[in-house]
Structure 1
Amino acid sequence: MATKLFRNLVIGGVLAAGLGAMAVKPRSFSDKRRNYVPTLSETMYAHRGLHDAGSGLDDADAPASNEYVQYARSMAVQAGYGSMEDVDPIAPENSLPAFAAAAEAGFGIELDVQSTADGQIVVIHDADLMRVAGDSRKIADLTYDELVRIPLFPGAEPGAAVSPLATGEMPAGQYQHVPLLSDVLRLVDGRVPIIVEFKFDDMRSWGEADENFMNAAADLLDAYQGEYAVESFNPAAMNWYKQNHPDVCRGQLAQDLRFGEGDPVVWGAGKLVFNWMSRPDFVAYDVQNASSKALKLVRSMGALAVGWTVRSAEQYDEAMPYFDRFIFESFVPEGTPGHDLAL
């Protein structure tokens, strides 16, 4: 009896392991070959462009951030935006100058897309404008015409992580606002590879608005002649790409959260249990979770591992054994092949 029970437990364990492996399995090599899927270029990807205001610049553990800010500004100026004497930021995160600066330096770019109230595809990370413009209104509730009247990081000093309060009125002089994806693609013009993250407010539902968002953004990217890949925390978005654009390199964003932390879908995606939906070519994983067993398993099965977001040379060195590509900010990577990073 005991022998039979042990045998059944072993069989059950093998079946469970097999099902688990199938659940996290990435896209197969034969599928990639059949659809002529390009791999993710081997370069460093600048998080939201090379920026002098915004994400990651409030990290007290990143003493190189001042050097990074100056480098971002110098590359933006070299690309034709502002001057080093400007007292306000000239290249806020996810702005045209930030992307121009990254392209000028030869880095790849990671950016975020959402849809406005009038169906325009714009490049911005947060669901609202509070952090970047001091305005509590949501992107989904604003038209693009309204967005161009709201400056990013108005009156901030270079290196600011959060903007001072904005009035929401059209300011005088030059300023940066939330850009259209079409304008970003026109600016980059194939010079460097791009990773496009699809952002969603609610990941537990999927409706007509989501379909419209995916179609509108995919149409812009499909017409683009440069190299790009797509990613999302939402496995349904990557499943949409699997069904509609199997020739595009796609990635599952994830982080290893404790149970009960954050959205249940994000928690599940962190364990990669939704890979059966997205069948990703790469997994973009939080570098702080570098030793994750789920990441190690899916990497052994052929998925590229992309680390986000590395913010210091020390963190980069520590994460190197666990990842194949990196998204970075707040520091200037040294020794990256093909880049002259001297200031």
Structure 2
Amino acid sequence: MTTLPDSFLSLPIAHRGYHDAGSGIIENTRAAFRAAIEAGYGIELDVQLSADGHAMVFHDYEMSRLTGETGPIRTRNRDALTRIILKNTDETIPALPEILSLIAGRVPLLIEAKDQDGAMGPDIGPLEQSVADALKDYAGPVAVMSFNPHSVIRLAALAPNVPRGLVTCHFPAEHWQLLNEKTRTRLRAIPDYMRAGASFISHRHDDLANPRISELRAAGASIICWTVRSFEAEIEARKLADNITFEGYRAAVGTG
């Protein structure tokens, strides 16, 4: 287990950067990451895999919500993706190494590797390899995480010195339609924490009263939660979590 640095617990973490679409700052963009740095927040970002095996900073599996293109992001190669304009901006989809250079260790960075198996299974590898390669020379506080335990275990092998965690929730059927009940029940119990050599979880903020969360915390796990969207929800979350991932309001720096 590689311990999560204290900085991840002392600064609120801006979910997909400090974005505000109304002001023209879109999630997971250079502008959102610069805004987070200027505000003194940590940063959470997502990575998806390109067709040619590169980690791209983008949340969705499909491109239509944020771009004028359609289809899965993994059907396009890196160079093509970096030319795709995000809606209502002059931004394009960035590759992870560029964003690492932009952040340059100035604030804590939490990287979520999106599940590439489709069912939280073992058909993973290229995305984790690309993330590990990008982080080899990164000098700054960084941690990796995923909903898929297989992904976290692979990252443990590829980047053993990078702190890692599991993204978790209560896996309601209506939000996880691609997962069968057996898989959702298993993941709900967070059984892979020790096997993954994790030092933290990032758990859904409205399920923090789950007894498994307090059990993990008592055993030494750091508890981050997602995604807080109001100061009132932050107050409640901080009663049970060590830190928050937030969006949609200005979290107070110094409350971690």
Relative to the length of structure 1, the TM-score reads 0.68
Contact 1:236–1:277 under 8 Å retained in 2? no
Cα RMSD of the aligned pairs, angstroms, is 2.0
Most deviating of 109-118 and 241-250: 241-250
- Between the aligned residues of both structures, percent identity stands at 31
Q: Partners in 2 of 1:134 and 1:104 — Cα distance?
A: 30
What SS is found at the alignment partner of 1:277?
Answer: coil
Match of 2:16 among 41, 48, 63: 48
Q: Partners in 2 of 1:39 and 1:266 — Cα distance?
A: 30
1:234-313 map, 5 Å: 234-258=148-172, 262=176, 263-264=179-180, 265-313=183-231
Q: Name the structure 1 match of 2:26.
A: 92
Q: 1:132 to 1:271 in 2, by over 3 A?
A: same
Q: Partners in 2 of 1:45 and 1:218 — Cα distance?
A: 22
Displacement after TM superposition at 1:266 (Å): 5.0
Q: Name the structure 2 match of 1:3.
A: none
What SS is found at the alignment partner of 2:122?
Answer: coil
Q: Partners in 2 of 1:266 and 1:130 — Cα distance?
A: 27
Q: Name the structure 2 match of 1:144.
A: 78
Q: 1:255 to 1:187 in 2, by over 3 A?
A: same
Gaps of 5+ in 1: 1-26, 54-68, 74-88, 155-173, 339-343
Q: 1:308 to 1:150 in 2, by over 3 A?
A: same
Q: 1:176 to 1:39 in 2, by over 3 A?
A: same
- Partner AA of 1:225 in structure 2: A
Q: Name the structure 2 match of 1:179.
A: 94
Most deviating of 112-121 and 298-307: 112-121
Q: Partners in 2 of 1:266 and 1:135 — Cα distance?
A: 32
Displacement after TM superposition at 1:244 (Å): 3.4
Superposed CA offset, 1:270-309 (max 9, x none):
3212224323100110001021111111111110110111
Relative to the length of structure 2, the TM-score reads 0.89
**Structure 1 residue ranges (4+ consecutive) displaced by more than 3 angstroms after TM superposition:** 258-261, 264-267
- Partner AA of 2:147 in structure 1: F
Gaps of 5+ in 2: none
- If each structure's helix is expressed as a fraction of its own residues, which one has the higher value? 1
Matched, 1:199 2:167: no
Q: Name the structure 2 match of 1:322.
A: 240
What SS is found at the alignment partner of 1:128?
Answer: coil
- Partner AA of 2:161 in structure 1: D
Contact 1:253–1:269 under 8 Å retained in 2? no
Q: Name the structure 1 match of 2:143.
A: 229
- Partner AA of 1:328 in structure 2: F
Contact 1:255–1:267 under 8 Å retained in 2? no
Match of 2:58 among 124, 133, 136: 124
Higher Cα Rg, which structure = 1
Matched, 1:109 2:43: yes
1:147-162 map, 5 Å: 147-154=81-88
Q: Partners in 2 of 1:213 and 1:95 — Cα distance?
A: 19
1:47-66 map, 5 Å: 47-53=15-21
